[in-house]
Amino acid sequence: AGADDYLHRPFTRAELMARARAGLRAAQQRSDDAILRALMVNVPGAIYRSAWHAGHTVELISDEIERISGYPPTNFIASARRTIPSVIHPDDRERVMAACEHAADDTKPFVLEYRIVRADGEVRWVLDRGQLVHGTGGRLWMDGAIFDITERRAAEEALRRHEIEKARTEELRASRARIVEAGDTARRKIERDLHD
């Protein structure tokens, strides 16, 4: 378009095919960029891409990371200090990194639940779904999405505590019933003995 409208000579077939392919690639790239922008705005999680070959440097991250971690996305982009692993809770970091490296060996997607430490010090649970992608020149990218699941984890823990308490109550009732039954059996035995 534009400068190519005026031609001094006609294109050869090969030049025409190369230009058509380049135009199609450019149109596909614009389409992919539009889809990515729409996902980054509308997905209720932080979509990210980090460079594992360059110390986990974050290349792309959606604005949702600020709601989840308390850090603005600008703190993550091209920063060696603020990376995805840097916000993982210290007790979970080794397990998460080992699971990601294992996923890299298998080239399979991973699904991990772990804790992060927010900017204000609050500990939150997240679900991280992603995949390590091999690039050219030995590059390794991690593409994924992080979702805040703290409320779900709290609800699961409350349900677990409720079920434990319910089981204890049932055991206590059964224990009391056994004690009453044993007392009644002993009383009937004493009554028989006295009668005899």
Where in 65-139 does DSSP place strands (E)?
Answer: 110-117, 123-134
Beta-strand ranges (E) seen in the chain are 46-51, 57-61, 110-117, 123-134, 140-148
- Quote the tokens at residue 50: 């980090």
**CA-CA-CA-CA torsion sign (142, 144, 150, 154):** negative
Q: Read off the pLDDT band of 19 (50, 70, 90).
A: confident
CA distance 196 to 189: 11
Given the structure tokens 């091209």, which residue do they identify? Answer: 78
**Res 23: pLDDT:** 77
pLDDT for position 148: 92
The yes-or-no verdict on residue 26 having pLDDT over 90 is no
What distance lies between CA 181 and its chain's CA centroid?
Answer: 53
d(C-alpha 123, C-alpha 128), whole Å? 15
| pTM assigned to the model | 0.64
CA distance 125 to 83: 17
Q: In sequence order, what are the residues at sequence separation of 6 or more whose Cβ sits closer than 8 angstroms to the Cβ of residue 138?
A: 53
Tell me the per-residue pLDDT of 37-77, one tens digit each, with 9 for 90 and over: 666 666 778 888 888 888 888 888 888 888 899 999 888 88
DSSP state of 189: H
User: What is residue 4's predicted lDDT score, i.e. its pLDDT?
Assistant: 57
Q: How many residues does the chain have?
A: 196
Report residue 5's pLDDT band, with 50, 70 and 90 as the boundaries: low
The whole-number pLDDT of residue 32 equals: 65
What is the bridge-based pairing of β-strands 46-51 and 140-148?
A: antiparallel
pLDDT per residue over 74-103, tens digit each? 888 888 788 888 999 999 999 998 888 787
Residues 43/145, Cβ–Cβ less than 8 Å: yes
Nearest partner of 140 among 125, 130, 155, 150, judged by Cα:
130
* Average pLDDT over all residues of the chain: 83
The mean pLDDT value for 120-146 works out to: 88
Percentage of the chain lying above the pLDDT 70 cut:
85
